[in-house]
Structure formats: structure tokens, C-alpha cells
């Protein structure tokens, strides 16, 4: 993913928030990383994030932003709360100007659910990835507990190694960049806000279509979140680090909760076309064979054939040429 087009918006309490727009098709996917961790401006240079994005977003329009105090956003004044983090998220959603598919990671799930309960019209769906039910009982509690006894850079590198599928040299570089762009006091302010966060009262009031994604680590917390949200779906992804595998699990989670793909840029793709079918349709428009698509999408040829057949039925095509022409005419690909 290339460097984004950087823009700015302002929160209700006057903090300037930087956000980046990544080109693509469909309704925008807003990705909210854990507050206090990685700023968005150089994420495209991180090979683990890039591999995840390739699978997770699959050409979708995407939006990322810097929480207050981080990267290109304005400074914060400690102490802050989850309510302040929710203001940051709200400002970005309003700037996007249309309902988003929100993927919130870990501690970002507290402001995400807080805002989604207060303003559900801002969202099409939510994916809560590795959420905590209560900050004081975080799945990362043991990692945070040793932080005071470690050198700051060493601790950050330990966390990067734990969270991202990166070789040592990249993990060290990511940790150094994180330390430079997000000072310790900023991380502490966001961390303290998150530790006071809770979904106990909020989760039962959430009406936005939601899927909870978890690996084995943090499973207990995620199951508690999913059971508290009416009609939420729980989805298990293999592994726990940031990788292409995680990206596939996130995309599957979006498809699970929506049951359909987002419309194309001109809004004329039928709602009945699923996310996976849209990926196949995009490749049909380029003339890719079933065998090529099977390799690229890591599917069996039989599965690709089934997707192609379903696409024909949904768009009224009778062969690959008609399907490819339809895709190009409707802005797909």
C-alpha cells in the first residue's frame, strides 16, 4: 500500500487529527489501531502491516488516522479518557462523510464501541479485533506489568515482536520509530485511558452489525465481548500476530458480519455479491483464468468455479467475456 493522501480534521474539543486516505473501491474501511502505538504515516513501510493490508483490504478504500498526541495529530493534555479517544474517531468518521466499515484493534475497541453506541449512523459494520471486555483485565496485562522494570526501547521492541510477524531487524526499526513518534508520556496517557475502559454497560446497547475476531490469545475476553453484544458473531483467526494470515481473517470477518461486499465506487454492484465474489469479479475483468485466481486467492479451482457461476447469476452474464465487460462498465477492477 502506497503512502496515503494526508488530511486534517478537528475534534469537538479542538484537537487537530491527521488522517490518511488510501484509494480503492467500495465503502471506506476505517482502521483504528491501538491508541498510543503506531502512527499511520509510515505504516505502508512496515512489511507485516503491508502483508496484512493486501489480504485485509483487497483493494478497498481505506482510512487510517493518528490519535491525539501521535504522529501528525495535535498534542494531548493528560489525563485523557476513552471519551477523548472517541472524539478523535468521531472527527475522522465525520470527515470521511459516509458510513464506514470500522476495524478496531485491541484497546481501540473501547472508543469504537463508545462512539458506535452514541452515533450508530456513522457505521455500516464493526469488526472488533482482539478486544478487551474490561481494560483492567486486559489480555496484555502481563506484558504491561513488566514495562516499568524495562528500558523503554527494549519493552517496545518486545511488544512489536509479540504483535507483528517481523524479523528482528525490522522489529527493532519499528520500535525505534514508535518511540520517536509516540513519546512515553503519550503512550502512558492512552494506556491509562484504556485501562479504565469497559464494555460491560456499552456492549448490550450496541446495534451496529458486529463481528468479534480473536485468536487463542485473548479468547476469554473476546468471548465475553461477543456474548454481551446482541446478535454479534464470534470469528476465530489462526495465529495472533500481524501478518497476511491475520489480514485474511479480518476480511473473512467483514464478510461474515455483512454477508455481502461493499458497493463499487459508483454504487452499482449488487448487494448480493459477497466480498470474495467481488475479488473474483475484479480478476475476471483482467482476463485472469480460474487457475490464476485460485493461486492468487489461495482457493481451490472448484471454489473459484463456484464463485464465477454465482457471479454470472447475480449480474446476468452468460460467459467470461460478458462478465468482464459488465465489470468494466460498472467500475469494477
Please indicate, yes or no, whether residues 288 and 245 belong to a single structural domain of this protein: no
Q: Is 171 within a domain?
A: yes
How far, in Å, are 49, 164, 193, 209, 258 from residue 245 at the CA level? 11, 11, 30, 23, 20
The model's pTM = 0.76
Higher pLDDT, 34 or 282: 34
The per-residue pLDDT of the chain, averaged, comes to: 88
Range of the domain at 319: 275-329
pLDDT confidence bin for 24, thresholds 50/70/90: confident
Per-residue pLDDT at 238: 62
* Sequence-separated (6 or more) residues with CB below 8 Å from residue 63: 19, 20, 21, 22, 28, 29, 30, 31, 92, 96, 100
- Poorest-pLDDT segment among 92-106, 125-139, 279-293: 279-293
Strand blocks (E) in the chain: 5-10, 16-22, 25-32, 60-65, 100-105, 123-129, 210-214, 233-236
d(CA 326, CA 318): 11
Q: Is the pLDDT of residue 262 over 60?
A: no
The predicted-structure confidence for 149-177, as pLDDT tens digits, reads as follows 999 999 999 999 988 878 888 899 999 99
Q: Look at residue 264 in the predicted model and tell me its pLDDT.
A: 40
Q: Output 195 or 52, whichever has higher pLDDT.
A: 195
Q: Would 264 be classed as within a structural domain?
A: no
Band (266; pLDDT cuts 50, 70, 90): very low
How many structural domains is the chain composed of? Answer: 2
The residue-averaged pLDDT of 31-41 equals 90
Assess whether 159 and 226 both reside in one domain.
Answer: yes
**Residues 156, 187: Cα–Cα separation, whole Å:** 11
**Mean pLDDT within 53-78:** 91
Distances (CA, A) of 58 to 89, 247, 288, 297, 313: 23, 9, 16, 10, 23
Q: Tell me the C-alpha distance between 102 and 29, whole Å.
A: 6
Residue 184, pLDDT score: 94
Q: Is residue 270 part of a domain?
A: no
pLDDT of the residue at 253:
81
Q: How much of the chain exceeds pLDDT 90, in percent?
A: 53
Which residues, 6 or more positions from 309, have their beta carbon under 8 angstroms from its beta carbon? none
- The stretch 258-282 carries a mean pLDDT of 63
Whether residue 46 sits in one domain with residue 107: yes
Kind plus residue range of the DSSP H or E element containing 36: none
For 216-236, write each residue's pLDDT tens digit. 888 899 999 999 999 898 988
Whole-angstrom distance, CA of residue 196 vs CA of residue 99: 28
Q: Same domain for 215 and 106? A: yes
Task: List C-alpha distances in Å: 24 to 3, 206, 245.
Answer: 13, 29, 21
C-alpha closest to that of 226 among 76, 70, 218: 218
CATH number at residue 282: 1.10.10.10
Does 250 lie in the same domain as 307? no
**One domain for residues 200 and 286:** no
The answer to whether 130 touches 155, Cβ cutoff 8 Å, is: no
Helix, coil or strand: residue 64: strand
Decide: helix, strand or coil at residue 191. helix
What CATH number does the domain containing 200 carry?
3.40.50.1820
Q: Note the pLDDT of residue 300.
A: 83
- Indicate whether 248 and 304 sit together in one domain: no
Amino acid at each position: 500500500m502506497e503512502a496515503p493522501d494526508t488530511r486534517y480534521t478537528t475534534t469537538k474539543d479542538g484537537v487537530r487529527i491527521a488522517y490518511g486516505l488510501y484509494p480503492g473501491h467500495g465503502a471506506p474501511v476505517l482502521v483504528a489501531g491501538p491508541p498510543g502505538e503506531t502512527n499511520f504515516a509510515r505504516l505502508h513501510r512496515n512489511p507485516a502491516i503491508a502483508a496484512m493490508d493486501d489480504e485485509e483490504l483487497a483493494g478497498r478504500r481505506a482510512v487510517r488516522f493518528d490519535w491525539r498526541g501521535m504522529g501528525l495529530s495535535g498534542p494531548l493534555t493528560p489525563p485523557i479518557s476513552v471519551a477523548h479517544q472517541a472524539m478523535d474517531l468521531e472527527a475522522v468518521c465525520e470527515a470521511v462523510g459516509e458510513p464506514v466499515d470500522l476495524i478496531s484493534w485491541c484497546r481501540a475497541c473501547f472508543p469504537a464501541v463508545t462512539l458506535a453506541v452514541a452515533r450508530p449512523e456513522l457505521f455500516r459494520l464493526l469488526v472488533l479485533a482482539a478486544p478487551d471486555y474490561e481494560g483492567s483485565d486486559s489480555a496484555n496485562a502481563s506484558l504491561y506489568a513488566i514495562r516499568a522494570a524495562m528500558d523503554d526501547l527494549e519493552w517496545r521492541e518486545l511488544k512489536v515482536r509479540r504483535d507483528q510477524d517481523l524479523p528482528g531487524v525490522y522489529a527493532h526499526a519499528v520500535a525505534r520509530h514508535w518511540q520517536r513518534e509516540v513519546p512515553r508520556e503519550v503512550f502512558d496517557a492512552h494506556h491509562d485511558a484504556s485501562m479504565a475502559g469497559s464494555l460491560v454497560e456499552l456492549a448490550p446497547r450496541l446495534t451496529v452489525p458486529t463481528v468479534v475476531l480473536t485468536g487463542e490469545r485473548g479468547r476469554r475476553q473476546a468471548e465475553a465481548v461477543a456474548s454481551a453484544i446482541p446478535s454479534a458473531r464470534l470469528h476465530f483467526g489462526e495465529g495472533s500476530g500481524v501478518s497476511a494470515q491475520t489480514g485474511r481473517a479480518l476480511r473473512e470477518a467483514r464478510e461474515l458480519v455483512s454477508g455481502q461486499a461493499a458497493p463499487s465506487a459508483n454504487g452499482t454492484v449488487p448487494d448480493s455479491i459477497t466480498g470474495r465474489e467481488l475479488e473474483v469479479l475484479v480478476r475476471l475483468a483482467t482476463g485472469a483464468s480460474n487457475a490464476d485466481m485460485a493461486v492468487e486467492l489461495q482457493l481451490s479451482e472448484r471454489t473459484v468455479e463456484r464463485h464465477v457461476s454465482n457471479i454470472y447469476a447475480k449480474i446476468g452474464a452468460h460467459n467470461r467475456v460478458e462478465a468482464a465487460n459488465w465489470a468494466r462498465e460498472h467500475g469494477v477492477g
